[in-house]
Amino acid sequence: MSEPDAIHPERTIDLRSDTLTQPTPEMRAAMAGAAVGDDVFGEDPTVQELQQRIAGLLGKEAALFMPSGTMSNQVAVRAHTEPGDEVLLESTAHIAYYESGAPAALSGVMCRYVTGERGIFTSADLRAEVRPANAHFPVTKLLCVENTHNRGGGSVWPLASVRDVTAVGREHGWRLHLDGARLWNASVATGVSERDYAAPFDSISVCFSKGLGAPVGSALAGSAEFIRRAHRFRKMFGGGLRQSGVLAAAALYALDHHRERLREDHANARRLAQGLNGLAGLQVEPAGVETNIVMIGTGEMPAETVARRLADACVRVLAVGPHRLRAVTHLHLQEAVIDEVIRRAGEALAN
Ligand code: TLP
């Protein structure tokens, strides 16, 4: 496919999310050729291969394939807690902000927020929220960290900060969960392995359906005992799948072929940020673009209005606040496509 075709003027360029990727022909071939069985009976060899691969990659005893990142996080919350417990997380964490109130609905837990900077909080921020053991208070059971942080603009947790906050958690005997939907991006951006990032946590959720480009799928990793408990809740929440090897095959393909290339998405995000910053009143802090997510301030203009004008020019972005847009780079958006986005945005917002 030649580049000029890829940026035909009527082609819509969709930057709303990295979840929009379509399986490539090679990925589809891997899916079509997958050996499968009934995974509720534990008989799907490709799912088993993926689970072992993820457990090894994250340095944990076991892993479980999940239909979505949301289910993976919420099964983890349920498996770590009992109704009435409290979960500590950053105030815009996906688990509480974007998962339909599931912690309350499915686990009966309370969420208590730690305020962070771009989704990242310090051990001092966390200590400020610790309450003494007292019958008036709920029992704090779980601390969650999100890396990279979605509403934080794809921000990356430095390993030292992860170690600091998880050390506070251990001190208090809390369980520790990592929402690593985009942990792959954090690892590529920093050179810190997924295993090192995962080490302080009891459970880790990773997604194959974001930047890695698989159509469906996530995985939850942890100790063998934790995964046995999680397995029961996955069934209860309706996530027991049958011949899911076709999906696991896409995930395995993505792990082998789409991880290293995430650095292209990161470079393209920086290119986009530079191109958009200052354009018709848009504000993007290029230094704040650490991975594949670009947060764009719209100044006086309502974000929805800007999003509509861009959509009229066949560029789609997401309004994520009254004056804030999100654009996410992914494997269908090469450098030339990013330049075309900047050109179209310049024209669309010129007057
Ligand atoms: N995030 C989606 C939307 O839900 C906002 C996106 O487009 O970014 N954790 C994190 C950090 C996520 O960003 C997401 C998806 C999930 C979990 C949930 O994954 P899915 O969509 O598979 O349930």
185-194 pLDDT, tens per residue? 999 999 999 9
Residue 229, pLDDT score:
98
Q: Tell which atom from ligand 1 comes closest to the C-alpha of 93.
A: 11
Residue 1, pLDDT score:
40
For each successive 10 residues of the chain (351 residues), what is the average pLDDT?
Answer: 60 97 98 98 98 98 98 98 98 98 98 96 96 93 98 98 98 98 98 98 98 98 98 98 98 98 98 96 94 97 97 97 98 96 96 69
CATH code of domain 3-22+261-348? 3.90.1150.10
**Separation of CA 347 and ligand 1 centre (Å):** 31
Q: Full-prediction pTM beyond 0.95? A: yes
- Pocket-testing residue among 207, 208, 325, ligand 1, by greatest number of atoms within 8 A of Cβ: 207
| 294 strand-pairing partners | 327
CATH 3.40.640.10 spans which residues of the chain?
33-257
Q: Tell which atom from ligand 1 comes closest to the C-alpha of 209.
A: 22
Residue 2, pLDDT score:
41
Residue 133, pLDDT score:
87
Residue 276, pLDDT score:
97
Q: Tell which atom from ligand 1 comes closest to the C-alpha of 73.
A: 17
CATH 3.90.1150.10 spans which residues of the chain?
3-22+261-348
Residue 70, pLDDT score:
98
**Class of the CATH-defined domain 33-257:** alpha beta
**Separation of CA 70 and ligand 1 centre (Å):** 7
Residue 8, pLDDT score:
84
- Pocket-testing residue among 99, 120, 210, ligand 1, by greatest number of atoms within 8 A of Cβ: 210
**Separation of CA 5 and ligand 1 centre (Å):** 31
Residue 90, pLDDT score:
98
Residue 6, pLDDT score:
54
